[in-house]
Amino acid sequence: MNFENNLAFAQDLDQHDSLGKMRNEYLFPQHNGKPFIYLCGNSLGLQPKVAKQVLNTQLDNWQNLAVEGWFDGNSPWMFYHKELKKLMAPIVGAKDIEVCPMNTLTVNLHLLMVSFYQPKAKKYKIIMEGGAFPSDQYAIESQIRFHGFDPADAIIEVKPREGEYILRTEDILNTIKDNADEIALVLFGGINYFTGQWFDMPAITKAGHDIGAIVGFDLAHAAGNVPLKLHNWDVDFACWCSYKYQNAGPGGISGIFVHEKHFTNEKLHRFAGWWGYKEAQRFKMEKGFVPEVGADGWQVSCTQVMPMALYHASLQLFEKAGFIEALRAKSITLTSYLFYIINQDNKELGEEQFKIITPDKVEDRGAQVSIIAKANGKQIFDALVANNVLGDWREPNVIRLSPVPMYNSFEDVFRTGELLLKISQSL
């Protein structure tokens, strides 16, 4: 598409956007008496308008049914998670039985590592992306220490080459191959939180399996953002949060994926709890843990009804939009337009004031565009916020802008670029 840097062009794109109506399903925060241009869905998604209604429904169930709500009512809590599973599965490319909503992301990462990080004397190392989100780093370090190893020795980080910001796929694959005899687990983010790089998950999975390693992914920035095919890619396990692109609210419930090939492996360790016990016999309260078949067998505590209600409501909006396939097409155009607008700003300024560190190939990125300002980065970010554009600042020097296809418009992108130029010219 040949883009144009003017308001009429952006508004014309919006007029022909079949997903434009989805914007009306969400509530935008207000500033100075008008709504923000909200480009921070990669940190916390917007509230669906239906959120209060679904919470009130569950509060009414609690009020009117009390403990009987576990088995009575329109959606008994005992089985409520199953309504989510059938909508979660298309988000990550899985079978219903392979996914389950539960806990929060880092808790689930720990629970899954209990099962899938089983280090041996010589094959004990974990390979991960350099600059992963800190919670992943802390979880991995603590798991390694728990098994009696030293993180300084047991973690192999793949980092960008000198002067670069993104990882080259060949460097990731070669590092896996070069350390084949020592790697027990390959654990990457699906998309890097800082640069917005979408890693080649099928290639990484195959490379890990070729050396006999387990492969897992933290999909915090990928689930609800880009098309995923976890089952077909043969990924062993994954987990994600629901409060970014999936708009399930701050601290929203997490989801897990476990490939069905592991369901019959009785040698897998797990930290068990009663809600992971075989459903049909759960309330017999018998000794000896017998896991439910599928990802449900990794549950520990009972259903978190309120967070699940919010997640369920958001997933229904994904279904209404046509799931990720429909959203992805718009996302590519949105980010491509943002790339174009930023580059036009640089031309107008006569220098590369804004360096884009997100991959320019659409297959290597999702909805996030990360930029580094040549000068006055924090001042520029603060001025954006003061003028009703809410993105995200990440230390030491990155502005993350995430035009989310579910609720952002092309006019949002144009006006953001227009404001970036105006602010830069004034500093």
The annotated binding site for pyridoxal 5'-phosphate is made up of 105-106, 133-136, 218, 221, 243, 274
Residues annotated in a binding site: 105-106, 133-136, 218, 221, 243, 274
> Would the CA dihedral through 342, 347, 349, 352 be positive or negative?
positive
> What single-letter DSSP state applies at residue 249?
-
Helix (H, G, I), strand (E, B) or coil at 215: strand
Burial class (CB in 10 A: 0-12, 13-18, 19+), 41: buried
Do residues 418 and 342 touch, judged by C-beta distance below 8 A?
A: no
Rg value, the chain, Cα:
22
Strands (E), 345-411: 354-356, 369-373, 389-390, 392-394, 398-401
Helices (H) and strands (E) in the chain, counts: 13, 17
C-alpha 342/C-alpha 71 separation (Å) is 54
Amino acid sitting at position 265? N
Residues linked to residue 185 through DSSP beta bridges, in sequence order: 126, 214
Please give the structure tokens belonging to residue 57: 């429904």
Please give the structure tokens belonging to residue 187: 């654990």
End-to-end CA distance of the chain: 33
Which residue from 417, 340, 422, 424 is spatially nearest to 375, judged by alpha carbons? Answer: 424
C-alpha 320/C-alpha 342 separation (Å) is 32
Which residue from 211, 187, 305 is spatially nearest to 252, judged by alpha carbons? Answer: 305
Chain length of the chain: 427
Distances (CA, A) of 29 to 147, 227, 331: 46, 28, 22
Distances (CA, A) of 418 to 10, 184, 214, 342: 12, 49, 47, 9
Strands (E), 276-397: 354-356, 369-373, 389-390, 392-394
